[in-house]
A and B are shown apart, each in its own frame.
Chain A
Amino acid sequence: MLLTFLSHQWTGFWRSKSKTGTIAAQLIMGFLVLYLIGVAILVGSSMQDLIEYKFPDKDIMIVFNGVILYYYVIEFLIRMQIQELPTLAIVPYLHLNIPKQKLVNFLNITALFSPFNLLPAFIFFPFIIMNINLDYGLFACIMYMLTILSLTVFTNYAALYFKRVSTGNMKIVIVGALALFVIAGLEYFKIFSISSISNIVFHTIAGYPLTGIVFIALAVAMFMVNARYLKNNLYMEELKAGVEKKSSTDYPFLDRFGAAGTLVALEIKLILRNKRPRATVSKGLIFLFYGFLFYKNDVLEKDEFGRILFAALFMTGNMILLYGQFMFGWQGAEFDGLLANKTDIRTFFKAKLLMLTLSATLLTLITSLYGLMSWKLLLVHLSAYLYNTGIAAVIVLYFATRNYKYIDLKKGSNFNWQGVGASSMLMSLPVLLIPYLIYFPVSALSNPYWGLAAIAILGISGLLTRNYWLDTLVSAFNKRKYKIAAGFREQS
């Protein structure tokens, strides 16, 4: 039965409409995993040298033992962020003559297929085999390894369990975040230290290998807790919406933009009320910290704007790139309706441009706080803003007409490649390269400020000729609208 499920998933993967995108995504993920494993092997095999190099005056065993639990705490946090819950896949089987236990087993076993579960072995085993074996004997070595494996299994299921429990339950999320804060604080003020606990724990295992059984028991217990929770909660109602009353809203501010404003209001609701766009947009806000990475005083003093242009472009325009790439995909579910109704396509595009412009304006206003670092940054941001609204938005929308992939708004955005196609990847290339193609020659011929001015002028000319670009977009769209609509109709 397990094999049947797996083969269904396998065929589902190969037959999905967005196959090429998914395969590309999987390839990239595959390389990432290979890279991580490579790093893990490297770290694992040179653990002893690394420790000696980094902490020359400390006992190797103390450092090694202290690191282990640290690793798992961090791994747990990362898992909470990116490990996916494989629940949805089983909905079509729930009503069939298949024992619940089998479905639960399927979920639990597929949960083990995660690169996270391989890494600890590569990182810790070489050191354990070489050092523990020599110093404490074979039995201790085996118990060490079993403990590592148990901890891996434990974090695996613990992360899934907390993720399941916390979805739709804000209280747990808040309590969890507070606990994390407190632990981090205690660690920071040296009141309580994970590494010293880790040290004590593994020192004990080295001395009394049988104590490792505790961890094996913990891993089994966590597995059981998770399995029991799954078995008791294997209902579709987990997918149902919250119970709080939804009320109608409107944004009078947008009324002044006429029909386009109405469509923008619609889209704002789309963003606020659906998981994936909401996550995409809120992730964009994280990029606002890019400035702290890129903006260095020596760069600014020497007017080397080329080195910070990327950050400026991305900070003021990340909504255009991240959100704009799926411009129609977001509305894939109601696309037929939008086409069949009395929405003028030109107005539709106008609304899209208006929306992207509003987002860039907002981001530029926020990032103008960087102006406190240097007034020059305001100039960089202004030219980036003009370019983003005048040129980038049009390019992005043009490429969006070549993306026919439906997007499920209910899913999260972490490692979610649904809707990502070659066109959306290609798109960012011209968008981010054009400013450099303008800036470098002009600043080499005159000075960096003229380089910025040239980008700004390009942006302004784009804004002034917007009507022309609107017509181009409309005709590009009309050529492909049947294909886009057909693509969205096949929602997988």
Chain B
Amino acid sequence: MIIEISKLNKTYSGRTVVDIDRLIINAGETVGVIGNNGAGKTTLFRILLDLIRPDGGEILSKGVNVASNDQWKNYTASFLDEGFLIDYLTPEEYFLFMGSLHQMNTVDVIHHLEKYKEFFNGEILDSGKYIRDFSKGNQNKIGIVSALMQNPELLVLDEPFANLDPTTQIRLKSHIKTLKSSQLTTLISSHDLNHVTDVCDRIILFEKGIVIKDLYTNENTLEELEAYFSK
């Protein structure tokens, strides 16, 4: 068990966005978080990353409340949106900066980036642009790779497939699958049911902040989810 959520709730002007009585994520799971807009996926991630203070309840990461202690930062890597990028840096500078936070030197970072040459498709490195001048999809790639680079035990990605071109989506999917191990827990939110059921071993479906379904993926999951969303 790596994450333990209890009695968590958050409301914005009377509208409940997160209301979780109890939810446990085990170490090594790849969890897909799905739900329509307003289901509270991003809010949940933000509370998990201690960016929003919940109205009540708590999230324990490895048994420690994320809001009271920064320990979780040592093993958690995340990319929620462009707000996580430092947009006036070149991608190289950004990767080096992120690396330096995790005691990686230039050589380590370059070595790591080698692995993502294909993923970058020759558009990111040595492009002579600041991050703010990249398209959304490419910004997304930069954020995802910098999260992966940190060698986390807990990886949090908010809609990583959005804005990516089809090739990159497929590459990202297979990459996440290869990363699966008992040492890495991954939380992914997505609107693409195909992708999440393909990648994740567990799916949690939210609606208005409440857990509606929590199931381990099998061959019927996709149909079940499609049925749910089309009703």
Q: Using Cβ atoms and an 8 Å threshold, which residues of chain A touch B93?
A: 248-250, 269
Contacts of A249 in B (CB 8 A): 93
Q: Which of B82-126 contact A (CB under 8 A)?
A: 83-90, 92-93, 96-98, 100-102
Judge whether B100 and A262 touch: CB under 8 Å: yes
CB A315 to nearest CB in B, in angstroms, measures 28
* Listed stretches B21-29, B46-54, B210-218; interface member: B46-54
Q: Kindly state the interface size class of chain A when it binds its partner.
A: 20 to 34
| A304 CB, nearest partner CB in chain B, Å | 45
Which of A259, A266, A336 counts the most B-chain CB atoms under 10 A from its CB? A336
The distance from the CB of A489 to the nearest CB of chain B, in whole angstroms, is: 7
A486: chain B residues at CB < 8 Å are 52
Say yes or no: is A96 at the interface (Cβ < 8 Å to chain B): no
Using Cβ atoms and an 8 Å threshold, which residues of chain B touch A273? Answer: 88, 130
Complex alpha-carbon distance, A245 and B130, angstroms: 9
Judge whether B100 and A259 touch: CB under 8 Å.
Answer: yes
Q: Indicate whether B31 reaches chain A with its CB closer than 8 angstroms.
A: no
Proximity string of chain A (39-71) to chain B, C-beta cutoff 8 Å, 1 when within and 0 when not: 000000000000000000000000000000000
Q: Does B30 contact A (CB under 8 A)?
A: no
Asked if A343 is at the interface of the complex by the 8 Å CB criterion, the answer is: yes
Segment with Cβ contacts to A, from B70-78, B172-180, B188-196:
B70-78
In contact, A339 and B50 (Cβ under 8 angstroms):
yes
Q: Which of A324-363 contact B (CB under 8 A)?
A: 333-337, 339-345
Report the bound CA distance from A249 to B97 in whole Å: 12
Min C-beta distance of A50 to chain B, whole Å = 51
Residue B132 CB within 8 A of the other chain = yes
A344 touching B87 by the CB < 8 A rule? no
Q: Which residues of A contact B130 (CB under 8 A)?
A: 241, 246, 273
| Contact B52–A340 (Cβ < 8 Å) | no
- Find chain A residues with CB under 8 A from B70 CB: 344-345
Q: Which chain A residues border B102 with CB–CB below 8 Å?
A: 342
Contacting pair B51 A270 (CB below 8 A) = no
When distances are taken between beta carbons in the complex, the residues of chain A under 8 Å from B76 are 340
The A-contacting residues of B in range 119-149, CB under 8 angstroms, are 128-130, 132-133
CB contact list, A212-257 vs B, under 8 A: 240-241, 245-250
The verdict on A133 contacting chain B, using a C-beta distance below 8 Å, is no
Give Cα distance in the complex from A394 to B129, angstroms. 36
Instruction: State in angstroms the CA–CA spacing of A270 and B88 once bound together.
Output: 6
Interface residues on B, range: 35 or more
Contact with B along A390-414 (1 / 0, CB 8 A): 0000000000000000000100000
User: Distance (Å) between the CB of A461 and the closest chain B CB?
Assistant: 30
What residues of A have a CB within 8 angstroms of the CB of B101 in the complex? Answer: 259, 341-343
Least Cβ–Cβ distance between A294 and chain B, in angstroms: 36
Which B residues are in CB contact (< 8 Å) with A482? 51-53
List chain B residues, Cβ under 8 A from A131.
Answer: none
Q: Is B129 in contact with A246, judged by CB distance below 8 angstroms?
A: yes
Asked whether A269 and B89 contact (CB < 8 A) given A246-B129, A336-B84, A342-B102, the answer is yes
Contact across chains for B53 and A246 when beta carbons are under 8 A apart: no
- Tell yes or no: A443 within 8 A of B by CB: no
Q: Which of A240, A262, A269, A485 is close to B88, meaning CB atoms less than 8 Å apart? A: A269
Given contacts A246-B130, A259-B100, A262-B100, are A342 and B83 in contact (CB under 8 A)? no
**A489 CA to B82 CA, complexed, in Å:** 11
Name which of B51, B85, B92 has the most chain A CB atoms within 10 A of its CB. B51
Answer whether residue B34 sits at the interface, using C-beta atoms and an 8 A cutoff. no
B80 within 8 A of A: yes
The answer for the CA separation of A250 and B80 in the assembled complex, in Å, is 27
Smallest CB separation, B79 vs chain A (Å): 8
Contact A241-B85, Cβ < 8 Å, known A246-B90, A339-B51, A340-B49 = no
Q: How far is the CB of B134 from chain A (nearest CB, A)?
A: 10
Structural contact, B51 and A340, CB atoms closer than 8 A = yes
User: How does the 8 Å CB contact mask read for A473-485 relative to B, with 1 for contact and 0 for none?
Assistant: 0000000001001
Q: Return the CB mask of A256-273 against B: 1 if under 8 Å, else 0.
A: 000100100010011001
Decide yes or no whether A274 CB sits under 8 A from chain B.
Answer: yes
In the complex, the answer to whether B51 meets A246 with C-beta atoms within 8 Å is: no
Chain A residue, CB-CB nearest to B83: A336
Given A273-B88, A333-B87, A336-B80, is A245 in contact with B128 using a C-beta cutoff of 8 Å? Answer: yes
Q: Known interface pairs A259-B100, A342-B102. Does A266 touch B51 (Cβ–Cβ under 8 Å)?
A: no
Interface centre among A240, A259, A482 (most CB of B within 10 A): A482
**Nearest-Cβ distance from residue B138 to partner chain A, whole angstroms:** 14
Report A-chain residues with C-beta under 8 Å of the C-beta of B81.
336
Q: What residues of chain A lie closer than 8 Å to B128, measured between beta carbons?
A: 245-247
Contact A341 B73 (CB under 8 A): yes
A262 to chain B: which residues have CB within 8 Å? Answer: 97, 100
In the complex, what residues of A have CB within 8 A of residue B51's CB?
336, 339-340, 482, 485
Closest to B91 in A: A248
Residue of B nearest to A344 (CB): B70
Chain A residues, Cβ within 8 Å of B74: 342
Contact A335-B83, Cβ < 8 Å, known A262-B97, A342-B102, A485-B51? yes
- Cα A248 to Cα B109 in complex, Å, equals 15
A247 interface neighbour in B53, B80, B90, Cβ under 8 Å = B90
Q: What separation, in Å, do the CA atoms of A335 and B87 have in the docked complex?
A: 11
Residues of A within 8 A of B132 (CB): 241
- A340 near B84: Cβ-Cβ < 8 Å: yes
User: Are A337 and B85 in touch, CB under 8 angstroms?
Assistant: yes
B107: min CB distance to chain A, Å: 15
User: Closest residue of chain B to A261, judged by CB?
Assistant: B100
| Set of chain A residues within 8 Å of B85, measured between Cβ atoms | 334, 337
Pick the most buried of B73, B80, B84, B92: most chain A CB atoms within 10 A of its CB: B84
Chain B residues with Cβ below 8 Å from A343 are: 101
User: Which residues of B are at the interface with A, using a C-beta cutoff of 8 A?
Assistant: 46, 49-53, 70, 73-74, 76, 78, 80-81, 83-90, 92-93, 96-98, 100-102, 128-130, 132-133, 150
In the A-B complex, the 5 residue pairs with the closest CB atoms: A245-B128, A337-B84, A482-B53, A273-B88, A340-B49
A246-B133, A334-B84 are known; give 17 further A-B pairs, CB within 8 A. A245-B128, A246-B90, A247-B128, A248-B93, A250-B96, A266-B97, A269-B88, A273-B130, A334-B86, A336-B46, A337-B84, A339-B51, A340-B51, A342-B102, A344-B70, A482-B52, A486-B52
11 of the cross-chain contacts (CB-CB < 8 Å) are A247-B128, A248-B93, A248-B96, A250-B96, A266-B97, A337-B83, A337-B84, A337-B85, A340-B51, A341-B98, A342-B74
